[in-house]
Structure 1
């Protein structure tokens, strides 16, 4: 408990309650949402990590250890939080963080990077244990958070459109199948129909890749950490901010939009623990995932919100399996067309984006100028001082609201959710 006697880690229904309802939570809708989230997380993002490993001249064993750390522990986070809180709180890792590390490995040795990974996890853990992250989330206006979510996720929707130009027949049939299924087939989630049709189209057109993956199945190789002040400033601090200000903030905003009361402190604490453990294994961070949480918490995972945690459980199992067998699975992922993966991810985001825009630009909620600023900053994908756009979107939106919009910058909806949970 903190100084006021409040629980540092929020209470949830517990594992027994979730396991008792798990049979009903595992169905075709949660299964398809969990599968799509896993395919998204294990495809393009995995290639970012593999590319970063190449930049740092890592051995095959170090690369496999990196993938094992972030996917294995990310899957474990999904299982722990999804089952304890009975919510679709999905774990993975920071995709922008992987890009940040890729640039840093040109300057720092991997042993220094590993030390920075561990220090980043410690920073995130401190934010969660002290409860500071909860105070920050209470202070931020909900419209600004939702605008940041919309700006960060809009690229997935745009990606579905640009994918048509890359593979017109395959992606066109995939998108058509999605909307026809939405209109005429009520028992099967549209995103699952789209995935099946897309894979059939890829098979029929012979569009599966034939190239070999850059790594093969080898034993993970651990790297002893080296702690330096330079790596702390260049890697640890920006990575910690990315985890809290981008991934956790996105996931929190999405869950609030879906009418959940997310356990903000617990999400931050487990992201810190995940970062420390992943660092010792040679991975940059295992934490709550914004995009995967968005997919698993959307209505694509079923109308009953109390059962959507089943999508997170399925996603967690698939992530863990991917991490364990990364050396064998990556070659298969490399054979799937990137355009198809992008199209499916974009289609899965439609309802999430709609809700984010509606919450961000509802006149009754106020903060419209701040929300607009947050939206365009988040969409810009700008990076300053090694920190990516979602963080600056929150800062910029809140500052502009303070300057030009009347009233204290307080999110009444988020504050009500937090107060309700703390009272419980």
Structure 2
């Protein structure tokens, strides 16, 4: 431990500190609003919302600290944004306790797959194109709502979107979602829609939420969430780490993420996993030496834990903002995820027909037999792939 502390101090630079902070700010802004929006749509209580926020940030921060220090790599822990959107689509169908039970099953599956070596086989038999197209289908309503809220308040919406676009173009090292949020707060203050006077903020302890189990929730949540973590979140971050020259500990990332998750779920967390976009912020050469960039992960972990601990004091201020702002910022936060997913789904010549079916089934929001659209998107597209694109499986898994 003393040796780790010495290495952290020796690599304490403005660059590693800033990278850790910027990655954390990314996690504080749009992704947090997605969770809040999901909790509101599911009718969760204030305490359940606080527990959810507390658990994903505190345990995500602990995962960053543990993995970055142990493996001397900037392995940044957080939670699955796509998974949060998946939950937003199912939390209105099942009781929250059933959703928690589905989380337990999902992370148990990830743990089993990680220790048995089945992760690589799953990634071969469940094409990334299909999973990515399903994600776009589930997320697309955010982009549509971003346009629809123009009717509600053209001034706030267009000002915020313009700020996002300009900062994307001109401010390469600052999160455009953060700039958009700041501009949105200024805009709603000008219009008088943001009233701080009635806000009551007090410290609330997270509460334990005990799971119940239902086949509908397990099929609708557990399987899609496990596939998202394995085929999207972990695969993306591992590719980023390898691209930066690290020997990414693939099995340890899946195994330890599932173990952290299996504790965090009892406070409402849907997942604790390595975060691709935040890992990308902490891995470039400008962050520092290859051996020292792990310090950015350490700082990120500290910031994440702090935000989680103070969430009960911060969330009331966020909830005081008009609903259209939560929708707008959450939508802007999803743009990068959707564009990356679209590119991954349709940029190759493989599984194009099945990926298209995954997209439209995910968009449909279809739900029957107590199974919602995400799993039907995967099952339906695999059915299409085995009929129309079987030769692509032959190439991929050498059947």
TM range (shorter): 0.7 to 0.9
Structure 1 residues 101 and 128: CA distance shift in structure 2, 3 A: farther
1:337 aligns with 2:322: yes
* Residue equivalent to 1:3: none
Query: How far apart in 2 are the matches of 1:27 and 1:288?
Result: 22
Structure 1 residues 366 and 382: CA distance shift in structure 2, 3 A: same
| CA apart distance, 1:386 | 4.6
| CA apart distance, 1:273 | 1.5
* Residue equivalent to 1:418: none
Q: Which moved more, 1:62-71 or 1:324-333?
A: 62-71
1:296 aligns with 2:278: yes
Q: Which moved more, 1:255-264 or 1:127-136?
A: 255-264
Query: How far apart in 1 are the matches of 2:356 and 2:6?
Result: 43
TM-score by length of 2: 0.74
The SS at the match of 1:73 is helix
Query: How far apart in 2 are the matches of 1:20 and 1:386?
Result: 55
TM-score by length of 1: 0.70
Q: Deviations over 1:19-70 (max 9, x none)?
A: 9767434437x7445323322233341354467575xxx7x76765555334
* Residue equivalent to 2:272: 287
Structure 1 residues 50 and 173: CA distance shift in structure 2, 3 A: closer
| CA apart distance, 1:76 | 2.5
Structure 1 residues 296 and 197: CA distance shift in structure 2, 3 A: same
- How many residue pairs match? The answer is 380
Q: Deviations over 1:135-184 (max 9, x none)?
A: 11122333323323333333333333223233321221111122233445
1:366 aligns with 2:350: yes
Structure 1 residues 141 and 134: CA distance shift in structure 2, 3 A: same
Counterpart mapping for 1:65-84 below 5 A: 65=51, 67-81=53-67, 84=71
* Residue equivalent to 2:388: 404
Query: How far apart in 2 are the matches of 1:399 and 1:146?
Result: 16
Query: How far apart in 1 are the matches of 2:238 and 2:103?
Result: 29
* Residue equivalent to 1:27: 18
Structure 1 residues 211 and 42: CA distance shift in structure 2, 3 A: farther
Query: How far apart in 2 are the matches of 1:78 and 1:305?
Result: 19
Structure 1 residues 103 and 194: CA distance shift in structure 2, 3 A: closer
Aligned partner (choices 31, 34, 37) of residue 27 of structure 2:
37
Q: Which runs of 5+ in 2 are unaligned?
A: 288-292
